[in-house]
Structure 1
């Protein structure tokens, strides 16, 4: 909003500068020499106002960049949490998918401890490796 207002203000003041410049350069007798001194002063003030407007536009642009950077950092932090959660559940879904298939000859079906050691052992091993890896990378 502020950037748009400053742009509109600049667009309003810029023609005034051009008008004053043209009036000072004109060779007409309508503008007397003492008036030219005042026109020069008004022209200088107009240039100063344009410089101030440009400075404010730069400040507003910088503030917008800081805000967008802060917003991006917050979104990155949220995405990091979601990525860690998704990474935890991916191997679990894969293991559950493999054990959920209907095979006629599944080697673990003949072993009494296949389900607790195979299924839960695989899940715990993968979670342990992921937690170790994430802590080593300082993501957790």
Structure 2
């Protein structure tokens, strides 16, 4: 059965990441922008699901790799007007501590890091996305 990863990851971040002032899930980046309430914040978005091999007529289950993104939004201005990424580093460390190796309900393996990238800089906010991957068994 397809696990509801955005919901369970959101709950995990709320429980484990005291550094975050706002945590939620969203269908995509536009939805994150519409709901941003306070920073630092993290929003979980679904990214991809890929079967590891195509099903056959005789197959009754299939292993599926699944990825979610965690979009982190932090302030990007220090008191002196200099750019500072220390808040980003602290928030990412907290997110990694909460998610890496954790096995969400319905999944077979703990989350692994799938990469990260800068999304944008705007209005003194820095937007960063880290991807986390795991897998589950879909019974057909």
TM over 0.5: no
Q: Say which structure, 1 or 2, has more relative contact order (CA 8 Å, 6+ apart).
A: 2
Q: TM-score range by the shorter chain?
A: under 0.3
The structure with more radius of gyration: 1
Structure ranking higher in strand proportion:
2
